[in-house]
Structures are given as structure tokens and as C-alpha cells.
Structure 1
Amino acid sequence: MAGLIAFQGERGAYSHEACRQARPGMEVLPCPTFEDVVEAVRTGAADLGMLAVENSTYGRVADVHSLLPNSGLHIVDEAFVRVHVNLLGVRGARLDQVREAYGHVVILPQCAGFLARHGIKGRVSSDNAKAARECAEAGDPTRAALASELAAEIYGLDVLARHIEDHDNNRTRFLVMSPTPDHSRRAARMVTTFVFRVRNIPAALYKALGGFATNGVNMTKLESYMVAGNFTATEFYADIEGHPDDPPVQRALEELRYFTDKLEILGVYPAARDWQQARASQLP
């Protein structure tokens, strides 16, 4: 597939890895922020966007959940990336030479055991791929980066130690965003993502969700967040298994509409091929 897909971070970031996995034929456009990714797709500078939405260890990416409803974009696919942390050093460096390792604040705790065992001090970087690039630029064998093997490939670094994370189930879920919706049924298992706001009546949320239970529709995610800092206005973000054309989903959404003053479908897309294993890894 030709075209351009935007992601947040520098080349070699885990988001870049997600782009390679989900859209291997597309060129990539690195962006500094999630907002820049959305804007690139909205203005036509990129055909698609790749956004991280949650991690099995650290939970949801709050900025993205707040960004999606007003982005004007539509979810057309999902990808789960197994986050492998590697210790990267300059060419010819040895593991016993490394004294400092730079990585994002959420990556450092994931390999704290390895760093402690080898007497390496963890240092915070704003981006793992940036840490790899700066490591290559510094040319110092005592300095390393915590990043992907893709980053090692891009910046000409050696992998001094592979898969050093302390836990073996760390995954990040990404969503592929498009300026146009695609509600076609492209797989046996589909996911529908939507946001809604319940009416201000007693037990509205309980009643609104009851339709999914009575119609046998599995809700795999339900998140709440405030709207514009207003404590009295709460929106909910939900994922369900199924397609809006499925009769049980149709009935559940009709019941939901009765108890809401806002319901917006953000995307209808195939479940990831390894959806059972991937979603199980997102559970606490």
C-alpha cells in the first residue's frame, strides 16, 4: 500500500514499529505530539495516523482518549505491539562498559532489575528513539539507550542485550486513524468503538449499559473522563465486540441512545489477529 502514515515520536520509536507492522507498505511521517499526528491526517499531509491508546502495564494514554472524540478522524484498524526493551550501545561497545542508560520514564521501571544487576544507572529521556539517536551522536561506550531493535537498525547501534524487560507480557495497543470512516465488514471478528454521554437521570449509566448485557454483546473496554474540566459532565469511551449491523449490537445501541444525549461511533474495524492474547494482556 502506498501513502504516508504519521506517528508520534522519532524514527525507531515503538509507534514506528506499529506502523511497520500494521501498514508495512507505507512511508512514515514522525510527529512531535499526538496533536500533530491528528493535524497531519486532518490536513492531508498524511493519509493515516498511528496513535497509542493504552499499555498493559501503564494503562490508557489519557491525552489520546481525550483527543479522539474531537479529532474528526475515524478508527479503521488496531495493532498490538509487544514492547521489547533492548540495551543499545555504540558500535564496538561492551555491556560491562555501560554506566548510564537513557529511556522514557515509563520504560525505565520496566527493566529496573536488569539495570540494577549490571550496575547501570537509568536516565530519563523524553523519547526512546531520541535516546538512541543521541547515544549514536555522543559516541560514548559508557552511554546506552533503552529502545527497540528498529532504533538500533536506524541509528547504527549495537544491541548489547535483548529483551531486558522484567515482565514478558508488556504490550501497547495502537489505533490506525483515517479521515474517512470504513464500516465495511472485513473480518469475522469486528470491534466497534464509540463515545457517549448519559442523560442526567437516576441510574442512567446502569440502564444504558443493560442493553449490552441483555443482548449478549461483550463490552471489552469502558473508560470515563471529564469534559472540559467539568465535574458534572462525563463522557464514556467504549469498545464492544461486533459490528453495528449485527442485530444484537443494533438493539444494544438503540437502548443506549434512549439514555444518552450524545452517541458517536469513532470506528468499526477488524479485531487484531491475535485479539484474544492481546486483550488478555491488557487486563490487570
Structure 2
Amino acid sequence: MPCASFEDVFAAVEGADGVEPSADLAMIPIDNSLAGRVADIHHFLPASSLHIVAEHFLRIRFNLLAIPGAPLAGIRTVHSHVHALGQCRRVIREHGLTPVIAGDTAGAAREIAEAADPTMAAISPPMAAEIYGLDVLLEDVEDEDHNTTRFVVLSRDFVQAPPDAGPVVTSFIFNVRNLPAALYKALGGFATNGVNMTKLESYMVDGRFTATQFLAEVDGHPDHPGLKRALDELAFFTTDIKILGVYPASPARE
């Protein structure tokens, strides 16, 4: 189900303004191995009522596309999603192109096809060339061949992975108290209980520089004794903790 924005994706599953949900699940990008975190998503997750129920890692390939017959030497602008542009800086710099932000990568290909301007190109997935009848000027233009995006699957229902059916990831957010060494003390319980933390990212809350919210991910299930003790200890140094999801770890993590 195509959506014009991330807000629309969340609204499709949550429902909005009295409108019933139109989708059961959402699949959104959260991290990229080149461009880092997808910033908008990390702001939507804490305020959302949705829960993470799965993750998926996708190897990302991009081609430089233009209308049929357009020569590479004549390209002046390149259109794509801001994260795709960030993942393909080298080709943009080498050919002296001016980046133009589009809503998404496939949409950029559609815009190029509709504009029929031989000076415009798009950085898009290979399939977009077939769909919109564009020429491939350059293949695999991403800066590194490990370019991979991690997606999470969101659901209205809080469905936890079983604690004894393989590796599990627990994602949660918390606010630390505005006290000296509060974060250090809050994280100490994970170290002393042997819990591996794979992600820790911070955000300001309501524009205040003294209140910080963190998104964290750890290996393990809240029912495992080590993680249970670590979360109990975390509660002493935080104002609130919200579990976003307890879901199977993708084999791609290895």
C-alpha cells in the first residue's frame, strides 16, 4: 500500500482523526549502514502506539536513471530521497551533479520520466527503470557495496517473541533523570548483568536541553533473568521506560 509520507504510514496502521486503520502492518526503514539513522522515524516511534514485531535487513542497490537517449555528460541534476542521496555522494561529486530531494527513490524515477528533461537523472532502485521506461546510465552507484537498510515491522498489537525460541531483540525508550552520572548509572545494570546493548541514541524532549530521551536496543528477552534485572535497575535512574518491541533477531545480524 503506497503512502506519500512516513506520517501516512503510521496513520494507516494506527488510524487517525476518527478514520479506521487501512493496513494491518507497517514496514519502515530505521537505519542504514552508510547514512545512519532515519531521523524522522526515531521521532515518530516514541509518540506512536505501534509496536515492533519484526526486523528485516535489505541490501540496497541504486542505479542512475534518465530518460531514453539522455547522455550522462548532459545530466545536471540528480533527484532522490535524502537518504539515497547521502548513500551515493561519490557519484554525485564525480559528475558535478546538483542533488534535489524527492519524496522517495521510486517517486524520483517517476518524476524524471514525467518531466522528460534530458538534464535530469534519478537515483533509484534497478526495477524503477523497467517500471518507468528509463535508461540506466550507471549501475550500483552506492558508495559502498555493504549498503544495507534495516527495516522494522510495526503492528497495533504488542506481540512478543517467545523467550526460548532463538535470539531476540528488545527495543525500548527511556528518559534519564537530570542528575550527575544518571546515564552512566542507568546503563551500569546492563554491563553487570551481561546484557549486550546494540543501539543507544538520544533525543531532546520538548525542546529542553536538560531532559533527554534515549532509544536503546539490547540482545535478549525481558523474561530472561539478566535483562529483567537490568531493566529493574534502569527504572531507578529514569522517569519512564516504554518497551517498543520484543521480536526475533534477524539472521542478517550475524
Q: TM > 0.5 between the two?
A: yes
| Identical counterparts, % of pairs | 53
Give the superposed CA RMSD. Answer: 2.3
Tell me what 2:219 maps to: 241
Q: Give the alignment's TM-score, normalised by structure 2.
A: 0.86
Q: How far did 1:94 drift?
A: 6.1
After TM superposition, the score normalised by the length of structure 1 is 0.78
1:154 Cα shift? 2.7
User: Contact conserved, 1:95 with 1:161, CA < 8 A, in 2?
Assistant: no
State the alpha-carbon separation in 1 of the partners of residues 172 and 141 from structure 2. Answer: 37
Question: 2:13 aligned with 1:37, yes or no?
Answer: no
- The match for 1:21 is none
Structure 1 residue runs without a partner (length 5+): 1-28, 277-284
Q: For the residues of structure 2 that align with 1:202 and 1:59, how far apart are their CA atoms?
A: 29
Structure 1 contact 103–122 (Cα < 8 Å) conserved: no
Q: Distance in 2 between matches of 1:103 and 1:130?
A: 8
The residue that corresponds to 2:169 in the other structure is: 191
- The answer to whether 1:126 aligns with 2:102 is yes
Once residues 173 and 82 of structure 2 are traced to their aligned partners in structure 1, the CA distance between those partners, rounded to angstroms, is 30
CA distance in 1, matches of 2:251, 2:235: 31
Report the 3-state secondary structure (helix = DSSP H, G, I; strand = E; otherwise coil) of the residue aligned with 1:129: helix
- CA distance in 2 between counterparts of 1:110 and 1:266 reads 28
Assess if the C-alpha contact under 8 Å between 1:132 and 1:152 holds in 2.
Answer: yes
1:145 Cα deviation after fit: 1.4
Q: Distance in 1 between matches of 2:79 and 2:28?
A: 23
Structure 2 Cα separation of the partners of residues 79 and 47 of structure 1 = 17
Question: How far did 1:95 drift?
Answer: 5.0
> 1:221 maps to which residue?
199
Q: Distance in 2 between matches of 1:236 and 1:116?
A: 35
Q: 1:175 matched to which residue of 2?
A: 152
2:243 alignment partner, one of 265, 268, 273: 265
Offset of residue 208 of structure 1: 1.5
Deviation per residue, 1:162-192 (Å, 9 max, x gap):
2022322222222111111111328511100
* Unmatched tracts of structure 2, length 5 or more: 16-20
Contact 1:81 1:172 in 2 (8 A): yes
Displaced runs of 4+ in structure 1, greater than 4 A? 94-98
Q: Quick one: structure 1 residues 90 and 48, their matched pair in 2 at CA, closer, same or farther if it must change by over 3 Å?
A: same
1:137 aligned partner: 114
Of stretches 67-76 and 252-261 in structure 1, the one that deviates more from structure 2 is 252-261
CA contact 2:176–2:211 (8 Å) conserved in 1? no
Comparing 188-197 with 122-131, which one deviates more in the overlay? 122-131
Q: Aligned in 2, Cα 1:250/1:112: closer, same or farther, shift over 3 Å?
A: closer
For 2:5, give the aligned amino acid: T
